Structure 1
């Protein structure tokens, strides 16, 4: 089980085989559905349909078995189904298999072609959806780099003190202190020392947080990504006073990060940073509308795909949950359309999306009502 990153995406986009199977299913993180193995049953249902279709298409039984073996192994892996997010993406061919647990509410869908269907994953590759998460408590500090689709820990052991005790002095020891939490939800922690006057706990916490801030400063300023902090509310007010990083988000992820796992941290962070993730997309949509009467925009699918292959597309908008079937003949720069995906037709939206990213452009999946030009399922903002 893993989450998607740019390297993995490019690997998927470049796979070619006579039979490539892509599967997307919605999943539940916990609750009754998990106990009743709803996620597992959903994948089983998709695989039954796929196997039937492969047989109808006269795919050799040996090939079907090679594709199905890792899928069936997943179905039997009880531990795998205990650790799901909002969606599961599976990519399988006779000599390739990967599965990705993602915080995305996929609609159940499968795609059989000579390539993988990566269109649902392309927003992770736009580059403007990345952010950092600082999970901070008095006894532990962790940093994560994340996007809509991914979260990964960042090694900061050599950059910051890992806990308050390391920063405020050797004599700060648990057995010399009593920790008492007052107020509902543990909003305030007091420290009482033995054999002397009480420490000014707020000053010591701020001293600790300033050391964390200074230790992370060089790392954070390399990319200047938004930083969202996960901690209790009373700690966040102190951290803001100690902070010198210009891209700290005002809204905290409230609570104790020790109370959840990696996927839980990611889910809570997305709830806070969602407006930021859409900001650049919305600016590009507005720019398209402003230039809609010029040669810098187009909604003609044939023109868009030709422009993609020439590296002319700056930003591609694709209608979410839409599809256009056909083929593209690169040598003739000609698009051939089909009514469905029979007779070797492929998803032209999938093709345009992955090629745009390969050529350095950005791709946004957009709901119909937010498309710049709603009459087309694909709009492009051109570079020149």
Structure 2
């Protein structure tokens, strides 16, 4: 399930109206903050601020209420707030409300313009790092295809055994009880020596059962993963992972598992969040490579001037855009004359040049990274661009 699709992003990017409201808040997945309604309070605070700004712009109360009412209904929707991630993005205009729960740590922020502010969503479409997630239990096996911002289950019940009993060919619970009885009867021989070897044999038998089961799982997964070149991360109890590693034939098995019992996670979204946390080095690899490429290329293949970058983006020349996080640039861009005017501060006729740039590059299939100032390739500029090879 995609948390926001490219099609939904493009619909928002192409929407224009006299009043477009964009709201971003950090949210909590659970705990005391959720019980005390902190997420709702945060959205309510942003809405209050928006009402003040719209009133100051001379917008009538009737029009403000028309935009605010669906947001108020969302605030009161207790069921909605039970299932949150790290951040919530809300887009509202007259007759439209779109909301997206995302694993992005937004800063609380609102933006009012004639278009929606989509720059904070850029991470959902860049360096998403596709991977597979295998939920592995003795009583259940499930496979998910995922990125950093999406997850969906892959149907495998016709190619892999559902549980251990389906593979070992006899009643696992009965045999396991027999092993338990053997262990309870371990004591000493007549000469006083230990009979501990009986316990070891039981453990070896059990491991062999797991190994047979996991080999059957691996064989089934091979029909899906054979030509893949993305990580497979396994969620299983720690003691099972070395056995699965022995059974595995997939070349890109991730070398660490998601620890703990997968059954302890409430749903696949919690499991997905833990997998993303484990795979963080994998997700940052592409961004680091792009920055390295920017620093190594000759000047004609890169750009750091906003007045040059915007026309290049309009012409489809930008492969990768680096934007300084928590910053913005305001001004105007005349697409007919390819002229850019950067304003020292936001004016009535200003647009967010960063928002424009991010939307266009994502529309064109390029990459957009939000970078902290200290890690920008060229730190003197808030906007850096890596140009395409064929220009």
Same fold (TM over 0.5): yes
Q: Could you tell me how far apart the structure 2 residues matched to 1:340 and 1:151 are? A: 40
> Match for 1:306 among 307, 311, 315?
311
Q: Is the 8 A contact 1:228 1:252 kept in 2?
A: yes
Which stretch of the first structure deviates more once superposed, 15-24 or 119-128? Answer: 119-128
- Structure 1 Cα separation of the partners of residues 204 and 288 of structure 2: 49
1:28–1:304: structure 2 CA closer, same or farther, 3 Å change rule? same
Contact 2:127/2:283 (<8 A) preserved: no
- The residue that corresponds to 1:275 in the other structure is 281
CA contact 1:88–1:99 (8 Å) conserved in 2:
yes
| Match status 1:73 vs 2:79 | no
Larger displacement relative to structure 2 (335-344 or 359-368): 335-344
Q: Following the alignment from structure 1 to structure 2, what is the Cα–Cα distance between the partners of residues 218 and 159?
A: 8
Q: Which residue does 1:184 correspond to in 2?
A: none
Match for residue 324 of structure 1?
329
Match of 2:126 in 1: 126
Please state how far the C-alpha of 1:296 moved relative to its aligned partner.
0.3
- 2:120 & 2:358 partners in 1: Cα distance? 10
Offset of residue 224 of structure 1: 2.3
The number of aligned residues is 367
Alignment-derived partner of residue 264 in structure 1: 270
Mapped contact 2:291–2:377 kept (Cα < 8 A): yes
Contact 1:167 1:208 in 2 (8 A): yes
Give unpaired runs (5+ residues) of structure 1.
Answer: 181-191
Q: Tell me the SS of whatever aligns to 1:19.
A: strand
The 1:4/1:127 distance shift into structure 2, 3 A limit, reads same
Partner of 1:186: none
Match of 1:241 in 2: 246
Distance in 1 of aligned mates of 2:233 and 2:349: 46
Give the alignment of 1:197-208 within 5 angstroms: 200-208=205-213
Equivalent-residue separation in structure 1 for 2:51 and 2:300 (angstroms): 46
Q: How does 1:24-35 map to 2 (within 5 A)?
A: 24-35=24-35
Q: Give how far 1:59 is off.
A: 2.8
Deviations 1:49-94 (A, max 9, x none): 1112122223344432332222111111122222222211111122
Render the CA deviation track for 1:151-206: whole Å, top value 9, x for unaligned: 2323323332222222222x2354664397xxxxxxxxxxx9xxxx9982222212
Cα pair 1:102 1:150 within 8 Å, conserved? no
Give the CA RMSD over aligned residues.
2.3
Identify which of 285, 292, 296 aligns with 1:286: 292
Query: For the Cα contact (< 8 Å) 1:5–1:150, is it kept in 2?
Result: no
Distance 1:167 1:328 in 2: 65
The separation in 2 between residues aligned to 1:198 and 1:32, in whole angstroms, is 43
Provide, for residues 226-278 of structure 1, a one-character-per-residue CA deviation record: whole Å limited to 9, x for no partner. 11111111111111111111111101110111111233212211221000100
The equivalent residue for 1:102 is: 102
Q: Residue 148 of structure 1: CA displacement?
A: 2.5
> Could you tell me how far apart the structure 2 residues matched to 1:159 and 1:311 are?
44
Contact 2:218 2:249 in 1 (8 A): yes
**What is the distance in 2 between the residues matched to 1:349 and 1:140?**
47
Larger-gyration structure (1/2): 2
Give the Cα separation in 2 of the matches to 1:120 and 1:222. Answer: 34
Which residue in 1 is equivalent to 2:374? 369
